[in-house]
């Protein structure tokens, strides 16, 4: 009876601590945003530059961009978001489909690593934006931005997954072999589950790189709208508040996708008891 009461007390205490932590996170987030907006407003007043509009003007431009079509492109912000998200999603899915198997095989098989590592190490240091004009010429304006995202996001995934496989404690391999497990069974039952947190780390990094790539690609050429094209145009043409509005939308999208990946990563770690 006393043990049961003790467990209930510990459970309730953990719940209170978790609620307190979440409350503080929300509070600190609000405070940091308020401070940032205040500094932004002060800077816009002090500098008095046409290239640094105040938060109020940017907010008005943001609301207007969602409420009706843009006079230059004829698209609403919703349509620009959808165009970018489509390119982003397809490019990242391809990167994930290539990066995870490649990383698993490179970490698990020495032969595969010897074959693939030179290719990865040659192309990995090259900035993804370098490939954008080449991909436009080779694959047209439809697949060019998509493949730019793919090549930007695939290498963080490969690197993280491969590192995760190599981090598996050899004791697990020895224990599995003692029980008569085959190489395929070791791969499926030990390597893949152990590598999941590392995979999510690579996904989280790859998502951030992918958003940078899509904006750069759309700045060069994009048919059918897109946040990159929208930001690029209004950065050089009035009203510049529209460019800041596009940047805010991009920041929200990037933060949302990365936060989702981080949540999944923490959930995996929690289920594993780490």
Return the pLDDT at 223. 76
Crossing angle of helices 241-271 and 227-236, in 10° steps, is 150
Residues 6+ away with beta carbon under 8 Å from 274 = 197
Q: Which residues contact 92 (CB under 8 A, 6 or more apart)?
A: 149, 150, 153, 206, 207, 210
Q: Is the pLDDT of residue 92 over 70?
A: yes
Is the separation of the CB atoms in 207 and 92 below 8 Å? yes
Residues 59-98: b if buried by 16+ CB within 10 A, e if exposed: bebbebbeeeebeebebbbebbbebbeebbebbbebbbeb
Instruction: Decide if 196 contacts 268 (C-beta within 8 A).
Output: yes
Token pair for 81: 């978001």
53-271: CATH number: 1.10.3720.10
pLDDT band at 42 (very low <50, low <70, confident <90, very high): very high
Using DSSP's 3-state secondary structure scheme, residue 50 falls into coil
Render pLDDT for 26-40 as a digit per residue (tens, 0 to 9): 778 888 889 999 999
Q: Give pLDDT, residue 29.
A: 80
Q: Convert the pLDDT of each residue in 155-202 to its tens digit.
A: 999 999 999 888 888 888 878 888 887 888 888 888 888 888 888 889
Q: How many percent of the chain have pLDDT more than 70? A: 91
Percent above pLDDT 90 for the chain: 26
Query: pLDDT higher for 256 or 18?
Result: 256
With CA atoms as reference, report the closest residue to 66 among 252, 254, 272: 252
For residues 120 and 225, which has the higher predicted lDDT (pLDDT)?
120
* pLDDT band, very low/low/confident/very high, at 75 (cuts 50, 70, 90): confident
The pLDDT value given to residue 156: 92
Written as six digits, the tokens of 67 are 């409420």
Mean pLDDT of the chain: 84
């Amino acid at each position: 009876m006393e043990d049961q009461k003790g467990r209930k007390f510990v459970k309730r205490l953990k719940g209170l601590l978790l609620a307190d932590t979440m409350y503080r996170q929300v509070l600190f987030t609000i405070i940091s945003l308020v401070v940032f907006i205040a500094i932004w407003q002060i800077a816009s007043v002090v500098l008095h530059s046409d290239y640094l509009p105040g938060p109020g003007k940017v907010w008005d431009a943001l609301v207007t961009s969602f409420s009706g079509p843009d006079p230059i492109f004829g698209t609403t912000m919703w349509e620009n978001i959808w165009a970018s998200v489509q390119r982003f999603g397809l490019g990242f899915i391809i990167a994930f489909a290539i990066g995870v198997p490649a990383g698993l095989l490179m970490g698990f098989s020495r032969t595969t690593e010897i074959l693939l590592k030179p290719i990865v190490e040659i192309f990995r240091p090259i900035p993804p934006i370098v490939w954008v004009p080449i991909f436009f010429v080779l694959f047209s304006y439809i697949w060019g931005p998509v493949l730019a995202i793919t090549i930007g996001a695939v290498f963080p995934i490969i690197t993280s997954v491969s590192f995760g496989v190599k981090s598996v404690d050899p004791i697990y391999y020895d224990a599995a072999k003692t029980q008569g497990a085959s190489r395929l069974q070791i791969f499926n039952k030990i390597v893949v589950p152990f590598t999941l947190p590392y995979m999510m780390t690579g996904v989280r990094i790859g998502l951030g790189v992918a958003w940078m790539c899509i904006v750069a690609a759309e700045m060069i050429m994009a048919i059918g709208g897109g946040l990159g094209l929208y930001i690029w145009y209004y950065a050089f043409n009035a009203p510049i508040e529209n460019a800041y509005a596009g940047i805010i939308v991009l920041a929200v999208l990037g933060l949302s996708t990365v936060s989702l990946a981080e949540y999944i990563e923490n959930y995996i770690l929690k289920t594993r008891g780490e």
